[in-house]
Amino acid sequence: MQFIRPVLHSQVCTSARPSARQFLQKLGKSCSFSLNSSSTRLYSTEFFPINDELYGLTDEQKQLRQTIFQFCQKELAPKAQQIDAENDFKDIKKFWRQCGELGLLGVTAPTEYGGLGASYLDHAIVMEEMSRACAAVALSYGAHSNLCVNQIVRHGTDEQKSRYLPKLISGEWIGALAMSEPNAGSDVVSMTMRADKQSDGSYVLNGSKFWITNGPDADVIVVYAKTKPEAGAHGITTFLVERDSPGFSCSRKLDKLGMRGSNTGELVFDGVRVPADRVMGRLDGGVYVLMSGLDIERLLLSAGPLGIMQAACDTAFQYAHIRKAFGQSIGQFQLLQGKMADMYCRLTSGRCYVYSVARALAQGSRQPMDCAGVILKCAEDATQSALDAIQILGGNGYINEYPAGRLLRDAKLYEIGAGTSEVRRLVIGRAINNIYKS
Amino acid sequence: YIHIINKADMAASKGLKILVGCKRVIDYAVKVRVKPDRSGVVTEGVKHSMNPFDEIAVEEAVRMKEKKLAGEAVAISVGPPQSQETLRTALAMGIDRAIHVEIPLAQLEKLQPIHVSKLLAKVCESEKPDLVILGKQAIDDDCNQTGQMLAALLDWPQATFASKIEPSQDSKQLRVTREVDGGMETIDVSVPAVVTSDLRLNEPRYATLPNIMKAKKKPLAKMSPDQLGVDLQPRQEVISVEDPPVRKAGAKVESVEDLVGKLREKGLVK
């Protein structure tokens, strides 16, 4: 196969995007440098604009998006390709600190612990812009800031919050949440990890957890285990486990199709002793913590595929207007106009759904039907938009120098994690059945 | 108009009062398009943001406040109603209050640095800042004139293309390091003064959400050119604005003789 690269190849690689600072450096010290005489590279519209007027965002939220966009495009986007290639984010500790300084690791956490005390919608905006820059790191960010931090905010005692939140929010610690096991994914309440009560009131955990985001790096983990196996779903308890607990280890880092750089691992608990005051929420009442957490997790994570869809539009739409064939830019051919229109509608309608559910959730209205619905829709749409982006880039979409392939591999995860599409459909279907129950 | 400041030790005083200029310009990443009637560039519906050099100026003012060199930092923008967004960004970065000199749309396109510097000079009369920091040039017109003109109108010292601002050795003046064509020049200026920021002065901070929310409560005053008694009559007429010519392909030559021959062919050398 012969791939013809367009002459302006360097414009399309997101890894080479200049920041405002680099732009000024190119202008040079001399004030006589004319604005229009520099290369087109500096002036191409590398980002498909977002019309914030459409979504009823407050002025602060619009400014928030601007800040996170600039931050992530500068600190994260240039490294996205390398992170994917190496299956590792070497600068994660530094990036976590930077996020901590901006308050991003505790958007929904109270200000007394260093959080922003802001809403789920604000958190979704942050997640979306980070996912646009690098979906893998955004997934780790989501797992830390929502799955771990937000669960502690919602269910932790004051002592647990004081002990864990400050360092999780400052970025000194990385957080994770572990519920799935090698034999319990969709059927998570059939988990077999045991938490046996000891004579001194503490618990001893035995078992393993699988597909745990941030597992290899986490300092603090929210873990679900069975304190009363015979009670099934109603025998689960939530525990807070620290990394240096004897008997705890991450046996391996998983080699994944996508989300490479978001370290995922298998966690082994071999007689891990957890003191009684590390039980979060009610004893044997963990299923409530788990299920309600899942709803919020689904809403927040749905901003992930949203960011991927935006990135797909950023990459593909620009390419379609630079690449020429048969005497004009390919974006002017009808079949591609159709594709771009579909990508646009998926993105915009997805955004409306995510923001609406986020607003409702922020006001205290949690509907499992919509939390499942929003991630179901956005995830499947993101996969489709990523496929369209690859197709628009044609041969170049198939080369790993271009981001389209990575977008597809990253998007696919969202159809699986936080409940597969199948489970999400069950949740919605059953909720509808419930409405009509006589 | 002369403004005399008590030349007491800067460290002991309440701190300087700083006025920072911010201009709303077309975002640096946007592909600029010339209007079909060649009267200017398309601005309608196009993304705008704060001039990057002005972001650096705002950052410097905020840092001087953090270092207790400055007591109050005020941002000012001369422009259309949307310039308020630019001012809100400045407030979110740590500026205390803002002033918006609103220019009606009809006069906006013909606004020149001479007008802006006159407006700023009038505001300085009432605000009495000790230091005015402006971006060295705006990325839309690249004029690099407002700072210098303002200093002349006020008869204040100027330190342009600043890459560092600190108190002088005796703490009675400001020591400014300037980036000039020949290298770096360090000068001491007495306050009040006008300083324009260059790229390496600092790296601007990101506006965090708590600061964005705090900014909403900070005062933003509006003024008009009439109130300030400044005439916005244009001094220049734009004849046309055009795209740069498409770059033509060049040719490679093998030797100096070839080069001279080709130059002769084109009549560029006798």
Note whether A355 and A56 are within 8 A (CB): yes
Q: Which of A174, A205, A233 is the last residue of a domain?
A: A174
Provide the token pair at A89: 């984010």
Is residue A146 located within the same domain as residue A201?
no
Is residue A337 one of the residues assigned to a domain? Answer: yes
Is residue A54 located within the same domain as residue A166?
yes
Is residue A270 located within the same domain as residue A228?
yes
Is residue A422 one of the residues assigned to a domain? Answer: yes
User: Closest Cα partner for B20 from B103, B145, B127?
Assistant: B127
Contact A31 B142 (CB under 8 A): yes
Q: Which of A174, A202, A232 is the last residue of a domain?
A: A174
pLDDT of residue A46: 80
Is residue A170 located within the same domain as residue A261?
no
Q: To 5 degrees, how large is the angle CA A179–CA A419–CA A349?
A: 140
Is residue B123 one of the residues assigned to a domain? Answer: yes
Is residue A321 located within the same domain as residue A304?
yes
Catalytic residue among A75, A128, A129, A297: A297
Is residue A203 located within the same domain as residue A311?
no
Residue A38, C-beta contacts closer than 8 angstroms, at least 6 positions apart: A26, A27
Give residue ranges of A with CB < 8 Å to any B CB.
20-21, 23-25, 27, 29-31, 33-37, 40, 42-47, 49, 59-60, 63-64, 66-67, 70-71, 101-103, 107, 111, 116, 118, 122
In a mutational test of the A interface, the residue from B209, B242, B246 whose CB has the highest number of chain A CBs within 10 Å is B209
Tell me the residue range of the domain where A149 lies: 50-174
Is residue B268 one of the residues assigned to a domain? Answer: no
pLDDT at A33 over 80: no
Q: Which of A174, A207, A222 is the last residue of a domain?
A: A174
pLDDT of residue B210: 87
Contact B244 A37 (CB under 8 A): yes
Looking at per-residue pLDDT, the higher value among B109 and A98 belongs to A98
Tell me the residue range of the domain where B80 lies: 13-245
pLDDT of residue A109: 95
Task: Report the CATH number at residue B180.
Answer: 3.40.50.620
Which chain B residues touch A58 with a CB distance below 8 Å?
A: none
Task: Report the CATH number at residue A182.
Answer: 2.40.110.10
Predicted ipTM > 0.85: no
Is residue A126 one of the residues assigned to a domain? Answer: yes
pLDDT of residue B29: 83
Half-sphere exposure of A8 (CA within 13 A, CB side): 18
pLDDT of residue A28: 56
Provide the token pair at A77: 């986007």
Is residue A278 located within the same domain as residue A375?
no
Provide the token pair at A355: 């923001």
pLDDT one-digit tens code per residue, A251-292 = 999 999 999 999 999 999 999 999 999 999 999 999 999 998
- R_g (Cα) of chain A, nearest Å: 23
Local confidence pLDDT in tens for the 270 residues of chain B: 344 444 444 444 678 999 999 999 999 888 889 999 998 999 888 889 999 999 999 999 999 999 999 999 999 999 999 999 999 999 999 999 999 999 988 889 899 999 999 999 999 999 999 999 999 999 999 999 999 999 999 999 999 999 999 999 888 899 999 999 999 999 999 999 999 999 999 999 998 888 998 898 999 999 999 999 999 999 888 899 999 888 888 888 899 999 999 899 888 887
Is residue A110 located within the same domain as residue A142?
yes
pTM listed for this prediction: 0.85
Does B31 touch chain A if contact means CB atoms closer than 8 Å? yes
pLDDT of residue B109: 87
> Could you tell me whether strands B131-135 and B193-197 are parallel, antiparallel, or unpaired per DSSP bridges?
parallel
Which chain A residues touch B199 with a CB distance below 8 Å?
A: 21, 24-25, 29
pLDDT of residue B240: 93
pLDDT one-digit tens code per residue, A36-47 = 333 223 234 689
pLDDT of residue A19: 67
Is residue A170 one of the residues assigned to a domain? Answer: yes
As a whole number, mean pLDDT of residues A160-182 equals 96
Least confident of A45-49, A214-218, A227-231: A45-49
As a whole number, mean pLDDT of residues A160-166 equals 97
pLDDT of residue A36: 31
Is residue B6 one of the residues assigned to a domain? Answer: no
**Cα separation values, B125 from A235, A352, B113, B150, B219, Å:** 74, 49, 18, 12, 20
As a whole number, mean pLDDT of residues A224-231 equals 96
As a whole number, mean pLDDT of residues A361-367 equals 93
Task: Report the CATH number at residue A161.
Answer: 1.10.540.10
Is residue B265 one of the residues assigned to a domain? Answer: no
User: Closest Cα partner for B226 from B127, B102, B61, B120?
Assistant: B102
Is residue A28 one of the residues assigned to a domain? Answer: no
Note whether A138 and A131 are within 8 A (CB): yes
Task: Report the CATH number at residue A381.
Answer: 1.20.140.10
pLDDT at A352 over 50: yes
Which chain A residues touch B182 with a CB distance below 8 Å?
A: none
Is residue B260 one of the residues assigned to a domain? Answer: no
Is residue B263 one of the residues assigned to a domain? Answer: no
Decide if A297 is catalytic.
Answer: yes
Length of chain B in terms of residues written: 270
Q: At A12, is the pLDDT very low, low, confident or very high (cuts 50, 70, 90)?
A: very low
As a whole number, mean pLDDT of residues A123-135 equals 98
Residue B242, C-beta contacts closer than 8 angstroms, at least 6 positions apart: B34, B38
Is residue A303 located within the same domain as residue A406?
yes
The tally of domains found in chain B comes to 1
Is residue B252 one of the residues assigned to a domain? Answer: no
Q: Is A341 assigned a ligand-binding role in the annotation?
A: no
The tally of domains found in chain A comes to 3
Is residue A303 one of the residues assigned to a domain? Answer: yes
Does B89 touch chain A if contact means CB atoms closer than 8 Å? yes
Is residue A199 located within the same domain as residue A318?
no
Average pLDDT, chain A: 90
Contact B28 A29 (CB under 8 A): no
Is residue A390 located within the same domain as residue A278?
no
